[in-house]
Amino acid sequence: MQSGTMRQLFKDIGLNFENMEINQPIPVDGWEIQTFDKSGSLVWKRVLNAVRKSNAPHMRVTTNSGLILDCSPDHKLFVESIQTKTQTYQEVAALMEASEAFKVLTIKGWENFNIQHLDGVIEIADIEVEGEHSYLSNGILSHNTMYGDPTTTPGGMAIPYASSIRIKLHGGKQIEHNGRVIGIQVTAKTIKNKVAKPFRECMFQIHFGKGIVEHEELFDLLRQHCDTAKEGIKTPDNKLVAITGTGAWKNFTVTNAKTGELETEVKFYKTDFDSKVLSIPEYKKYIDAILDSALIMRDNSADHITYTGVNTDSDEEVRAAAINQAEQEIS
C-alpha cells in the first residue's frame, strides 16, 4: 500500500511508523477497509493487524483513470488477461516483464494500467484484513500480504527483480503407496520469464529419496496425447505408435501403417513404463516420435506462432518455425 496513505492511517490509529519494528504485527481495533466480496460488491472488512516492512525498490502502478499505487516489486495485484480472460493475482515485477496484456481490478472497474520502476526505495506498510485475501489499496485491488509472501526466494531480496526467470513451486497432495506416504504432487509456475511467455504451469511428482519421477510424468504426457490422436502417431518409417489402456494394464503398440499388421505389443503397469518401454533402445525412436507430436505446437494461433509456408505434418519444419519465432521474441 502507498506509504503516504498508510502513514495517515497509522497516525489516525495512533501508531508511529518510524518507531514500529519491521515485520512485527501490531493489533488494530475499531478500523475497517474496503474490498470486494465474492459477488464483486464493495464491502467493509475489519483491520486486524498492521505491520511495517523493509524498504524495497520503488514501483509505481498508474491506471488509465489516474489511480496511483506505489509499492514493492513483489506486491500483488488482481489482474485479468486480455487474451485468455484468466483472473489471478500477479506480482508487479512479473507484470512489468510480461509480454501478455492485462487489466487490473479497481474501485472503478477493470482498467488498463502501466508500471514504472522509479529511482530510490519505498517504505512499505501492510495490513491484515479479516476473512479476506485482498483489499483496496488506493482504489486498486491488491493481495493481502500481511506477513509477506509465504514463499522463499533463495539468494536474497534482490533476486526477484534482477532474475530473468522465476519459478514458484507449490506442494500439493500426498502420494501414498501401500498405506505409506512416499512423495508429494508439486505445481511449478513461471511467475517471471524474460525468454518466453510467463505464467505457464506444470505438475509433477517428487518421491522422497528419489526426486522427480520423470518416467511417470513422461507416461502421463504421452498417454494424454495418444488419447487425442485417434489413429496413433505416425513415424517417418510409416509406423503407427500408440499407448492405450484404461485399466491397470497399459499397452504400447507399433503397427504397420500400410498393412495394419501389429508388429510390437508390450503390456505393462505404469510403474513398469521405464523398464519395459523407455529403457529399450529399439523403442526409443517411437517414443521420440510421440514426444515430437505431443510437444511441438501446430496450432497457428498458439502463442502467436505462424506457420506460413510450413508443412505442419513435418516435425522438423514445425520445430524450426517454433525456434525461429522464439528467437525473434527474445531479440
Closest CA to 181 of 203, 220, 209: 209
Rounded to the nearest integer, the mean pLDDT of the chain is: 77
**71 pLDDT above the threshold of 60:** yes
pLDDT confidence of residue 102: 92
pLDDT of residue 2: 39
Average pLDDT of the segment spanning 219-241: 72
For position 29, what pLDDT does the model report? 83
- The three cell numbers of residue 257 are 501403417
Q: Report the range out of 8-17, 100-109, 245-254 with the highest average pLDDT.
A: 100-109
* Confidence (pLDDT) at 115: 93
Q: What does DSSP assign to residue 235?
A: P
List pLDDT tens digits, range 132-158.
778 888 888 888 655 545 455 666 656
Of the pLDDT bands very low, low, confident and very high (cuts 50, 70, 90), residue 271 is confident
Given a cut of 80, is residue 321 above it in pLDDT? Answer: no
Question: What is the Cα Rg of the chain in Å?
Answer: 26
Task: Work out the pLDDT band at 249, boundaries 50, 70, 90.
Answer: confident
Give this prediction's pTM: 0.49
Residue pair 189/200 in contact (Cβ under 8 Å)? The answer is yes
- Residue 75 C-alpha from the chain's centroid: 16
Q: Which long-range contacts (CB under 8 A, 24 or more apart) does 145-150 make?
A: 145/74, 145/75, 145/76, 146/25, 146/49, 146/51, 147/23, 147/25, 147/51, 148/23, 148/53, 149/74
The single-letter code of the amino acid at 99 is: S
What is the band of 111 on the pLDDT scale with cuts at 50, 70, 90?
Answer: very high
